[in-house]
Amino acid sequence: MSAADRRIAPAPRTEWPEHFEDHLAGIGCPICTNDFTAEDIAWGLLINKGTFANAYLWRSGQVRGYVVVIFTARHVAEPTAMTSAEAAGFWNEALAAGRAVEQYYRPLKLNYQLLGSVVPHAHFHITPRRSDQDPAPGGPLPFDVLDHGRQDEEQLQSDARGLRELLGCTGSSVVPR
């Protein structure tokens, strides 16, 4: 889909996404098909490679610092299907990404959303909320501003380098902290 297409608001969904039940079961899951060792998965740039999850600075949207943390240990749609160790590891690694976003962008507030209603593979959307230029102060961020448009590529690359440094991530290898 081109950047121009992304700016066109889609009609509200009236049905679950195509193959949703297969994707729930891990069949043809659009997240599982990614190479989790890659520094760039097209959707975003790797900023931390964890034991349970990878964090990516996301390319879509209009909110600078939009990060997605994907559970990478295996296909899991619901967090309730994780073991206790996986759940704790996933949350802790999401929080590590959140701390880096806080330190790098100094937002007013961070939001963590775990939805999976379009792509049912466990992932957090971490979004900085700002005191000025926030699209929806006091409420949830509309997904339009995360799905439509594209981040400035130069700024994205530069931000990813800064976030990797904070996370001790050098591309695909991680220095434990």
Interaction site with Zn ion (CB under 5 A): 29, 31-32, 75, 121
Identity of the residue, 31 or 63, whose beta carbon is nearer to Zn ion in the bound complex: 31
CA–CA dist 160, 103 (Å, integer):
13
Q: Give ∠ CA 156-158-163 in degrees, rounded to 5.
A: 90
Q: Please, what is the minimum distance in Å from the beta carbon of residue 99 to Zn ion?
A: 26
Give yes or no for a contact between 59 and 76, defined as CB atoms under 8 angstroms apart: no
Across the chain, how many H-helices and E-strands are there? 5, 7
Residue type, 137: P
Identity of the residue, 123 or 164, whose beta carbon is nearer to Zn ion in the bound complex: 123
Q: Please, what is the minimum distance in Å from the beta carbon of residue 158 to Zn ion?
A: 30
Q: Please, what is the minimum distance in Å from the beta carbon of residue 32 to Zn ion?
A: 3
Identity of the residue, 59 or 75, whose beta carbon is nearer to Zn ion in the bound complex: 75
